[in-house]
Amino acid sequence: MTAPTDISGVRLIIDLAALTRNWKRLCDFAPRAETAAVVKADAYGLGLTEVVPALLETGCRSFFVADPSEALAVRLLSPQSRVFVLGGLTAGCAGLLREQRLIPVLNSTEDVAVWREAAKDEASPLPAALQVDTGMNRLGLTMDEAQALTKEPSLLANIRLELVMSHLACADQPANPMTGEQRARFEAVRALFPGVPASLANSAGILQNAALGFDLTRPGIALYGGEAIEGAMGPMEVVVTAQARIVQLRDVKKGERIGYGATHECDRDSRIAIAAIGYGDGYHRIASGSGVPLRRLFPGAHGHVAGERVPLVGRISMDLAAFDISAVPAKYVKQGDWIEIFGENVALDDVARAAGTIGYELLTALSRRAERHYLPVKTRTH
């Protein structure tokens, strides 16, 4: 017996060809820089084991992850590429990173000391990236600490700096003056390490201003088809489509109520589709049509079926959500059909906004319960 497919309530269609086209577009935005890829959090929830080979096939050679465990996963998929560990040197991991040729991002003078110690008996210098904080106050050495390193070269003994980097706090808001301030500080940092490639831009930085590209860019969300700059997809293509199975259709009379808490009352006779998606799949309960705290602060979520935009009504349950499909002629929707939760017709970031969050969180919250279909980079002939 062949295993039946599409037996999950939720189906994710992940278009790896669109992902690689997005990567190439990002290359074009910063033509003088190397374009890396940020694949932390299981490639923003899309699946590291599919995303990394697709990017390798397209020419990507440098990857960024959050911690050593993710770095090891990339190393298994790609023996040759550069893998940078953004979270620095987790206690006790220096030996592992050295052995697997993984590159720590040194975020503090303590990190520098640990890596120096790991490097001291090596025949050739160990690679590292150095992160300097330019105003975000998250990770990185202070400007003064970076300067101290240049005054005392023995502090970097047997360490080969592959990158000097910093991270932008406000690049998603093009009018925010903070980006210009960070760029000016970064220019000063870069001047301290002549000859070392420099990296500042995340997706929003790349799309906003070519001058932020420097020698290497670090896109994440734009690769995956999320909004990098607030309210704008730019030239990026949709990569992920989420669909939920309609498991029941019902006619609900005017005045009747729907869902837990009976929070939605139909103001007319309505046709309701019950779809097999809920907060157990990462469809945040706060995106419910009604009956959740703070609901009125956000626009309501909606789905898309048979060419119509259909509003979510009542509370989202763990596995189910109700959509008012009264606008769709009955003959166009039947039990078993799929309703689009986000994709070409419903923007990922609109659903995120309905949940008071961002596309990043929606993608990384998608559960493993969904069945995943990957569209290949190239259509292969068998």
Ligand X SMILES: *Cc1c(COP(=O)(O)O)cnc(C)c1O
The residues that touch ligand X, with contacts defined as CB under 6 A, are 38, 40, 86, 167, 202-204, 218-222, 228
Is 228 in contact with 203 (CB distance < 8 Å)? yes
Distance of CA 19 to the CA centre of its chain: 12
- What CA–CA distance (Å, rounded) separates 204 from 195? 26
Catalytic residue among 24, 44, 253, 260: 260
Nearer to ligand X, 320 or 363 (CB): 363
Estimate the crossing angle of helix 178-192 against helix 143-151, to 10 degrees.
10
* Residue 205 vs 314, nearer CB to ligand X: 205
Residue 81 beta carbon to ligand X: minimum distance, rounded to whole angstroms: 17
Phi and psi at residue 267, to the nearest 5°:
-90, 0
CB of 145 to ligand X, least distance (A): 18
Q: Which is nearer to ligand X, 140 or 314 (CB)?
A: 140
Query: Which residue, judged by CB position, is nearest to ligand X in the bound state?
Result: 220
Q: Which is nearer to ligand X, 204 or 325 (CB)?
A: 204
Length of the chain: 382
SS3 helix, strand, coil % of the chain, rounded to 5?
Answer: 30, 25, 45
Report the largest interatomic distance among the alpha carbons of the chain, rounded to a whole angstrom.
79
Q: How far is the CB of 89 from ligand X (least distance, A)?
A: 15
Kindly give the residue spans of alpha helices, DSSP state H, lying in 201-298.
203-208
Q: How far is the CB of 266 from ligand X (least distance, A)?
A: 41
Query: Rounded to whole angstroms, how far apart are CA atoms 127 and 125?
Result: 6
Nearer to ligand X, 64 or 279 (CB): 64
Q: How far apart are CA 272 and CA 260, in angstroms?
A: 15
Any catalytic annotation for residue 224?
no
Nearest-approach distance from CB 351 to ligand X, in angstroms: 18
d(CA 47, CA 74): 11
Instruction: Give the separation between CA 54 and CA 20, rounded to whole angstroms.
Output: 7
Measured CA to CA, the distance from residue 229 to residue 208 in angstroms comes to: 8
199 vs 290, beta carbon nearer ligand X: 199
- Closest CB 282 distance from ligand X, rounded Å: 18
151 tagged catalytic? no
Q: Which helix (H) or strand (E) holds 159?
A: strand 159-165
Annotated catalytic residue: which of 24, 40, 120, 360? 40
Q: Would you please indicate which residues are annotated as catalytic (active-site) residues?
A: 40, 260
